[in-house]
Structure formats: C-alpha cells, structure tokens
C-alpha cells in the first residue's frame, strides 16, 4: 500500500508524494527515556544512577582564570549518546558552555570547568534554548545546582540543554505534521476524508490510485473506524510517525 502525502517541500511551494510501504499494524514504543522528576528535568532525586548530575564535592579554593580548551570535532561521545544528541549538537553546547566557564579549584574533577549559576540563563539563550518563563528557569537551576553551590558542571548542563533541544525538535515536527495535515484538508480542522484523498490523487495525476486504495488508506489511518470517520490530526500524526515520514 502507498500513502499519498504532500512532500515536506510544499513549504517551498512544491507538491510531491512519499511512496511508503504498507504500514505496520502495531507501533514499537519509542526508547525509554531517563526518569524525570516533576520539574521535567533529570536530577539525582529521581535517578539513582545520575550522580553525574550532582556537583562534585567541594574542596575549597578560588577560581582559576584559565579556561578549558576548545572542544574537538569527532564522533559522538558517551555523554552525547547518553543524552541522545549528535556530536555536532554536543560541540555546539560545549562551545557555548566554554564561553561562560572557568576552571575552579572547588571542582578539580571537572575538566570542562564550571559555569556560575547566574550565567545558566545566558548560556541557554546563546544556544537558542531560553527558558520559557521564570518558573522553568527556577526548575532548571534547581536540577542543575541542587546543593546551591553557585556553580554548574558540564555534565548536568548538557543534560538540560539536550532535553530542551529534543523538546524544540518535537515542537517543530508537530508543526510540520500540522502543516501537512492542513494541506490535505485545505486549511480546515479535518478530518481527512475520502474526498480529500480523491482530490489529491487527481491533483497529482495518480490515475492508477483507485477508490479501493484510497478507502484502505482511510481505514488504515483511523484503525478501521469506518470511512465516514475520516482521519483525525492525531491519527495522521501516528501514521506519518510509523511510516517514518516525519
């Protein structure tokens, strides 16, 4: 079975289609994410194995003026893999972290240095990942510096930055799915009907796509709820995700 959809290139004014193999009848659950506390950020309180999120024990001493070396390019590090980000994304996070970090003798084991608590918001803004409001900022700071040491090491910072990066990507994907859905429904709230699919097949000159296939697409999309039920936005999102389009 082929699912006819508008290509992502519609945003540039083009119309295309994705040929996709028959969709599976079940969806494999996504990978299990790390335990999150009520503030939605990883912290020691909800993850016994997340000691790296806690600042190392302080050993007394003043901050050093020597900043860490610039990050090297290469394959994804263990830390990047743990946070489900690419090597390029980690490098970007690390470069911004180093703009605000210094070596500190209170944190001798932190080879990337630490950043002052008050600079966390500036660093996230520099990454294009600003806290949405003061409440979120307070939650972030609580997760990054639970002992109120005044400093944030690299490991917990990258965990927060990666979490916000994934959230931004999810929001962008949801917007893209919504745009594609409204191309089917011509800007209405839906659902996608058989008439919509007939129009698209006609516009794309898909003469070989008969009504039987279009009906199958509706039933596949809504789980067999019937042709009159159409396909809702949520069902469309599920179909496109399973098919790997978005």
Give domain status of residue 147, yes or no: yes
Q: Are 180 and 240 in contact, with CB atoms under 8 Å apart?
A: yes
Full domain range(s) for residue 77: 51-167
Give domain status of residue 195, yes or no: no
Mind listing the pLDDT tens digit for each residue in 167-197? 877 777 788 888 888 888 988 888 999 999 8
Give domain status of residue 74, yes or no: yes
Strands (E), 64-197: 114-116, 151-153
Backbone angles phi, psi at 231, to 5 degrees: -125, 120
The pLDDT confidence band at residue 73, using thresholds 50, 70 and 90, is: low
CATH number for 70 = 1.10.238.10
**What is the signed CA dihedral for 224, 227, 233, 239, rounded to 10 degrees?**
40
Give domain status of residue 108, yes or no: yes
Angle between helices 154-185 and 87-100 (to 10 degrees): 130
Give domain status of residue 99, yes or no: yes
Q: Is the peptide bond before 191 cis (omega within 30 degrees of 0)?
A: yes
Residue 55: which of 133, 123, 162, 154 has the closest Cα?
Answer: 154
Mind listing the pLDDT tens digit for each residue in 189-232? 889 999 998 888 888 777 777 888 899 989 989 999 999 999 99
DSSP SS3 for 4? coil
Give domain status of residue 173, yes or no: no
Give domain status of residue 142, yes or no: yes
Give domain status of residue 153, yes or no: yes
Q: What is the phi-psi region of residue 210: left when phi exceeds 0, alpha when psi lies from -120 to 50, beta otherwise?
A: beta
The helix (run of H) or strand (run of E) holding residue 139 is: helix 134-144
Per-state percent for the chain, helix, strand, coil, to nearest 5: 45, 5, 50
How many domains is the chain partitioned into structurally? 1
DSSP SS3 for 195? helix
Flag whether pLDDT at 138 surpasses 80: yes
């Amino acid at each position: 079975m082929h699912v006819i959809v508008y290509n992502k290139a519609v945003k540039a004014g083009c119309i295309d289609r994705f040929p996709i193999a028959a969709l599976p009848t079940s969806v494999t659950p996504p990978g299990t994410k790390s335990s999150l506390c009520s503030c939605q950020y990883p912290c020691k309180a909800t993850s016994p194995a997340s000691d790296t999120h806690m600042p190392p024990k302080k050993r007394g001493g003043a901050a050093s003026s020597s900043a860490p070396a610039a990050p090297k390019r290469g394959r994804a590090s263990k830390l990047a893999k743990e946070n489900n980000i690419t090597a390029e994304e980690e490098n970007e996070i690390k470069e911004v972290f180093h703009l605000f970090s210094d070596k500190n003798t209170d944190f001798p084991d932190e080879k990337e240095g630490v950043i002052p608590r008050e600079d966390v918001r500036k660093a996230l803004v520099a990454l294009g990942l600003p806290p949405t409001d003061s409440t979120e900022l307070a939650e972030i700071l609580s997760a990054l510096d639970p002992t109120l040491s005044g400093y944030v090491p690299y490991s917990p910072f990258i965990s927060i930055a990666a979490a916000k990066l994934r959230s931004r990507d999810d929001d962008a994907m949801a917007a893209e799915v919504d745009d594609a859905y409204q191309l089917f429904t011509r800007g209405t709230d839906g659902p996608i009907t058989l008439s919509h699919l007939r129009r698209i097949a006609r516009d794309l000159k898909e003469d070989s796509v008969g009504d039987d296939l279009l009906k199958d697409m509706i039933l596949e999309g809504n789980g067999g709820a019937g042709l009159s039920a159409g396909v809702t936005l949520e069902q469309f999102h599920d179909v496109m995700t399973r098919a790997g389009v978005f």
